[in-house]
Amino acid sequence: VSIRTIAVIWVVFLTILVFFKRRKMDPPSPSGSWPVVGHLLSLGRAPHLKLTEWRKQYGDVYTVRMGMEDVVVLNGYRAIKEALVDYKDAFSSRPNVYVLNLVSGFGEDIVMSPFNQAYKEKRKFAYSALRTLGMRMGPGSMEENIRDEARQLCLKLSEQGDAQPSDITDNLTVSVANIICSMVFGKRYDYDDENFLELSKVANKLVAQLGSSQLMTVFPILRFVPGVNSSNRILVECMEEVHAFLRQEITKHRETMDKENPRDFIDLLLAELETQEKTDCFKEENIEWIIQDLFVAGVETTATTLRWGLLYMVLCPEEQQKVQAELDSVLGADHDVPTLAHRSQLPYTEATIMEIQRIRAIVPLAAPHTPNENTTFRGYDIPAGTQVFPNLWSANMDPEFWPDPEKFDPSRFLDSDGKVVTRPESFMPFSTGRRVCLGEQLAKMELFLLFSSLLKHVTFKLPEGAAAPSTDGCMGITLVPSRINMCISQR
């Protein structure tokens, strides 16, 4: 037997050994993966539904092939909690995804930052700034800013009148964007302010462009293909415009700020920069990216949740009436918008908002996570850098925790005394663990104040004879409902 033959036998033997060893440790994977595209065709336009369906066959942890890459999917409350909370050190980083790198300055922000010291400092600062601003009382406080926006929104709807059915998506987006503007820049903009409209247009274009660049997140090589890569160019142009606007605002703040009396988020950022410069983790260039995060992560998410809320209110008028009856019984003839102090007296309204967030998790697959180093989870090997999707949808719609999950039923969130259940299991609209949504408290304040103000002042109905709108939604960056024209009558 020649040396060559022995060498070939050895290579074949080792290959078989490696193959079987890896196979055994890899999470299972659904059949039907195609070369180049992997499971993309099977996932279709509603990947959260397909991934949830595959859970029944392949269990709580399995792998799908997205293009040329294996992605681990975590399903159900227990697996997601175990990975993101119990193994938080292992699963708290972000993968290296080309388009996401592009829109985050290669991790200069918070959302897409890899898990490292700089991330911890950026997040810690932003968390405490939101808390500081959230705890202020009286005029100019976050609560008062949101209530002002709620008043403006109700006024806008009353000016519109109830003669013509209309879609209120744009008004909702302006209100929510203005809440972030008040917090970040210390001022709101008029509904027809030219600068603001221009910025909103660019921001919307940016989000839409991100949706259409999704193909490039799966096939980064497409960025070298002339024509296909034009969406990248538009993305970069939009970002440059947004950043130019932010730079102007930051310069104005620097010129006028009083370190002892920070007015808003930018003042707090600038003050922090001076102390952080010593640690070299948090730099001047991070400022624009952190502010961009608050707009990108904080506007569309909250407005979309409210849109789903109104859609379920027109589909379930009896639920709308129950919320309105509760609001009337607590607020009486008071025509002003509710305050946060009313929250504990309005359990049905709170439970309804929670049910809206359960039945339509608007970020069904959260943001992608990744292990910082090779990790073994539930007996499976997950190499560092592998994309990991927490399937939040599978937890929110799990029939084990939520019988008849497609039924809109706010009473699921009430205990036998009619009080709101604190920390319900298998309910994760904001995800969980180290990367849990940074704006969760702010979002909850906004959802409560805007939703309750709208329902106190207005009743939403479908036009006579109109077909019931679909609750499927359209999956882009978030799961958005279709635009619907509603009759809006003053109460």
Binding site for ligand HEM (CB under 6 A): 110-111, 123, 293-294, 297-298, 301-302, 305, 362-363, 366-367, 390, 429-431, 435, 437-439, 442-443
**C-beta closer to ligand HEM: residue 402 or 448:** 448
**C-beta closer to ligand HEM: residue 63 or 478:** 478
Least distance from ligand HEM to the Cβ atom of residue 1, Å: 56
Q: Residues with Cβ < 8 Å from 99, sequence gap 6 or more?
A: 210, 213, 214, 216, 217, 220, 232, 235
> CB–CB of 181/149 below 8 Å?
no
Q: Is 474 annotated as a binding residue?
A: no
**C-beta closer to ligand HEM: residue 185 or 430:** 430
d(Cα 366, Cα 478) in Å, to the nearest integer? 9
Radius of gyration of the chain, Cα coordinates, nearest whole angstrom: 24
**C-beta closer to ligand HEM: residue 16 or 135:** 135
Least distance from ligand HEM to the Cβ atom of residue 150, Å: 15
Q: At 190, which helix (H) or strand (E)? A: none
Least distance from ligand HEM to the Cβ atom of residue 38, Å: 23
Both structure tokens of 104: 């985050």
d(Cα 297, Cα 436) in Å, to the nearest integer? 12
Least distance from ligand HEM to the Cβ atom of residue 60, Å: 17
Least distance from ligand HEM to the Cβ atom of residue 238, Å: 19
Least distance from ligand HEM to the Cβ atom of residue 286, Å: 13
Instruction: Count, in order, helices (H) and strands (E) of the chain.
Output: 18, 9
Residues in the chain: 491
**C-beta closer to ligand HEM: residue 186 or 390:** 390
Tokens 């993966």, located at residue: 33
Alpha helix segments (H runs only) across 224-299 = 230-256, 265-276, 284-298
Among 425, 483, 463, CA closest to 77: 425
How far is CA 488 from each of CA 96, 162, 300, 325, 435, rounded to the nearest angstrom?
46, 5, 22, 18, 38
Both structure tokens of 173: 């987006």
List own/partner pairs for 268-276 with CB under 8 A and 24 or more apart.
Answer: 268/125, 268/129, 268/132, 268/133, 269/125, 269/129, 272/125, 272/129, 276/121, 276/125
**C-beta closer to ligand HEM: residue 323 or 487:** 323
Least distance from ligand HEM to the Cβ atom of residue 427, Å: 12
Least distance from ligand HEM to the Cβ atom of residue 66, Å: 17
- Ranked by CB distance to ligand HEM, the top (closest) residue is 439
**C-beta closer to ligand HEM: residue 42 or 372:** 372
405-441 exposure pattern, b = at least 16 Cβ within 10 A, e = fewer: beebbbebbbeeeeebeeeeebbbbbbbbbbebbbee
**C-beta closer to ligand HEM: residue 95 or 429:** 429
How far is CA 158 from each of CA 190, 303, 328, 491, rounded to the nearest angstrom?
17, 19, 19, 10
Q: Residues with Cβ < 8 Å from 254, sequence gap 6 or more?
A: 270
**C-beta closer to ligand HEM: residue 235 or 438:** 438
Work out the end-to-end distance of the chain between its first and last CA atoms, rounded to an integer number of angstroms. 94
Least distance from ligand HEM to the Cβ atom of residue 71, Å: 14
Pairing of strands 69-75, 387-391: parallel
Least distance from ligand HEM to the Cβ atom of residue 8, Å: 47
**C-beta closer to ligand HEM: residue 119 or 219:** 119
Q: Can you name the residues that pair with 381 across neighbouring β-strands?
A: 376
Residues annotated in a binding site for heme: 437
Binding region: 437
